[in-house]
Structure 1
Amino acid sequence: MMTKHELRREYLDRRRALTDIEVQESSLQIANKVLELDIWSFSNYHVFLPIQKQKEINTQYLLHILQGKDKNIVVSKSNFEDISMSHYLLTDQTKLRINSHGIPEPDQNGIPIDEKNIDVVFVPLVIADRFGNRVGYGKGFYDRFLKKCRPDVIKIGLSMFEPLESKIDMHVNDVGLNYILYGEEVIDLG
C-alpha cells in the first residue's frame, strides 16, 4: 500500500499530464454529476476556486449551476502562517486575486461567513478512496476548516480520477467525505 505522500506525488504527476481539454471535460462531467445529488434545499455552498497550474477541477461550471439555483456561494482565503481559512460570500462585487501559491482568493473586504453557516462544502483533493478518505496537498487546510463546520455539513469531494479500491492510510485529524464525484460516478458514503 502506498503512503499518502507517495499517492500525492503519483496523482499530481498524473494530473499534470492531463491536457487542458481533458481537465475541462472532466470538470463539466463532474458539474453535471452534482445535479444528481439531493443537496438543493440548502442555502450556503462553499466552493474552492481552482489552482490552474495544478490542473484542479474547474469549478466555474459548478458556480454557474449554483448561481442558476440562486444559492449563496462561499469562497475562502488561505492564511499560510497558521494554516487557516477565512470565508467570504462571493458576490458580483467580490474582487478575486491570485495569491503567491496560485490560489484565486477573495479580497479581505468581502462579506465574512462563519463556518457554522455553511451547509455544503465542495472539497478539492488529489485522490480519494471509496471509503471517503482523501489525499490533499498535505497542509491540512480543509481538515481544519471542516472540523469547524457543523457536524451535519455535507462534504463532497471532487476528483479527476476514479477513487482507489484500497483504503488510504488516514491520520487522526483527517475528515472524511459524504460523497465523491468523478466523471463516471457519484459515490454516496452516507
Structure 2
Amino acid sequence: MTKKELRQLYKQKRTALSVAELEMMSLQIAQQLSICDIWGYNCYHLFLSIKKLNEVDTTPILQLLYEKNKQVVVPKMNSEKRTLTSIPFAKDTLLQTNSWGVPEPKDGMAISAHKIEVVFVPLLAYDLYGNRIGYGGGYYDRFLAECRPETLKIGLSFFLPEENFSSISLSTDVRLTHIATPEKIITIE
C-alpha cells in the first residue's frame, strides 16, 4: 500500500469507531502508559486531540502527567514554516483552535526541543520498526528531528501494526521508540 492508501484506510477505521469505543480505548492507552517505565523524566510533549478526526483522546494522559507533577508542553503550529513549537501548558492555559482544527495555546513562550524528554506522537498507521504515517504535513518529523536522539518518541494508536513499510518511508521520517495501544506498549528495538 502507498502512504496515501494507508492514510485513507486508517482515517476510515477511526471514523468507524463509536464515541464509547474511542473513550474506552483512549483510557486503556493511558492505563498502559501508567504502568510503563517512562515516568522518570521531567518534560513531556503531548498533542491535544482533534476530536473531529477521532484521534486518541489525550485527556487521560494529561491527567496522568498532572498527577505525577510533570512539566507539560503542547504543540503550536506555524503553517507558513510547517513547523511545531512547544508551549508550556497548565490547567489554566487559554486555548484556541487553529485553521486545521487543532487546539493550541493562545499565548506562551516556546521552549527548546532539546529540553523535551518524552514526546507523545499522533499517527494514523505504524509498523513494528517504528515507522509511522501521519497526516502528511511533516510537522512531527521536522519537530522530532530537533529533539535530542535519546528523546522517547511514543506513538498513540487504537490499532494493530501494519507490515513493515520501510520501503515507503522517506529519509526525513523519524522513527518512534514506542507505540502505546489499548492492549500493550510496544518497544521498538
Taking structure 1 as the reference length, the TM-score comes to 0.96
Cα distance in 1, alignment partners of residues 117 and 147 from structure 2? 8
Equivalent position amino acid for 1:70 in 2? N
CA deviation after TM superposition for structure 1 residue 39, in Å: 1.2
CA deviation after TM superposition for structure 1 residue 112, in Å: 2.2
Q: Give the unaligned 5+ runs of structure 2.
A: none
Aligned residue in 1 for 2:127: 129
CA deviation after TM superposition for structure 1 residue 84, in Å: 0.6
Q: Which moved more, 1:57-66 or 1:75-84?
A: 75-84
Equivalent position amino acid for 1:67 in 2? Y
Aligned pairs (5 A) from 1:1-190: 2-107=1-106, 109-168=107-166, 169-190=168-189
Q: Deviations over 1:122-148 (max 9, x none)?
A: 000001111111000000000000000
Superposition misfits of 4+ residues, deviation over 6 angstroms: none
Q: Which moved more, 1:33-42 or 1:145-154?
A: 33-42
Taking structure 2 as the reference length, the TM-score comes to 0.96
Structure 2 SS opposite 1:13: helix
Structure 1 SS opposite 2:37: coil
The 8 Å contact of residues 46 and 75 in structure 1, kept in 2 or not, is answered as yes
The 8 Å contact of residues 130 and 167 in structure 1, kept in 2 or not, is answered as no
Structure 1 SS opposite 2:180: strand
Cα distance in 1, alignment partners of residues 145 and 89 from structure 2? 22
How many residues were matched structurally?
A: 188
Task: Report sequence identity in percent.
Answer: 44
CA deviation after TM superposition for structure 1 residue 17, in Å: 1.1
* RMSD, matched Cα: 1.1
The 8 Å contact of residues 146 and 175 in structure 1, kept in 2 or not, is answered as yes
Cα distance in 2, alignment partners of residues 167 and 113 from structure 1? 33
Q: Deviations over 1:116-171 (max 9, x none)?
A: 00000000000111111100000000000000011110000000111113335211
CA deviation after TM superposition for structure 1 residue 47, in Å: 0.2
Equivalent position amino acid for 1:16 in 2? T
